[in-house]
Copies of this chain bind each other. A is one copy, B any other.
Amino acid sequence: MPELLAQPLLEVAGVFVGAMSGALAAVRKQFDIFGILVLAWAAGLGGGVLRDVLIGAVPPVGISDLRLMAAALAGGLVMYFGHPRLERARRVINVLDAGALALFTVVGTLKGLEYGTTALAAVVVGVLTGVGGGMLRDLLTGEVPVVLHHRQLYAVPALLGSVAVVALWHVEWAGGLGLGAVAAGVFVLRVAALRFRLNAPGPWRGSGSGGAG
């Protein structure tokens, strides 16, 4: 991806933001400093670790790359010391997190394709790169993964973006411009979901079942 010159910097930024969300969840559960930093790592890098294990890219960059680990550690420490103030900045964090989602999805899908997976597997690992860190964060703090039940669109933008990356790859347009456009689309759709409360449907109700949700 020589065209995507900004990618390494963006990836570090994505990990940093993801790590902040993990550390915040840990702070709320009164974890100790070790637990807080583990959660920062899990939320910032866990999606990529799951991807790398599934495609055979071991050891995963999420445990071996100094730059990415430093970003996760930094995100964790910033939240550790800053959480009394940063909790109020949730709206900003949500927007940053939408950026991380967009970036992780594009990068993760590409990595799957580069490792020669099927198009289907590339989409799975692309989405997993985007949403896997948050799922690990939730499981490690004893919560049901929010991405599975919250309804507000989160995985769906990632899914659409990942399919778009695979399509671009197959027509050999997966350059910086095309990939940047996909990432922008994922970001905009996620921010729109936040802003306008765009929801995925919950369980289907047959015509005669009625009742509350």
Task: Give chain A's interface residues, CB within 8 Å of chain B.
Answer: 26-27, 29-36, 38-39, 49, 53-56, 58-60, 63-66, 69, 80-81, 83-85, 112, 115, 117-118, 120-121, 124-125, 139-145, 147-151, 155-156, 159, 199-206, 208-209, 213
Contact = CB atoms under 8 A, between A and B. Distances in A.
Contact of A81 (B159, B199, B204, B208): B204
28 contacts: A29-B144, A31-B148, A31-B202, A31-B203, A32-B148, A32-B149, A32-B150, A32-B200, A33-B200, A33-B201, A35-B149, A39-B148, A56-B58, A56-B59, A59-B112, A63-B117, A64-B117, A64-B118, A64-B121, A65-B118, A69-B120, A80-B204, A81-B204, A84-B208, A85-B206, A140-B144, A141-B144, A142-B143
A34 B200 contact: yes
A30 B203 CA distance: 6
Given A56-B58, A56-B59, 19 more contacts: A31-B149, A32-B149, A32-B150, A34-B200, A35-B147, A39-B148, A49-B54, A53-B58, A54-B63, A63-B117, A66-B120, A80-B204, A84-B205, A84-B206, A84-B208, A84-B209, A139-B140, A140-B145, A142-B143
B34 A83 contact: no
A144 to B, nearest CB: 4
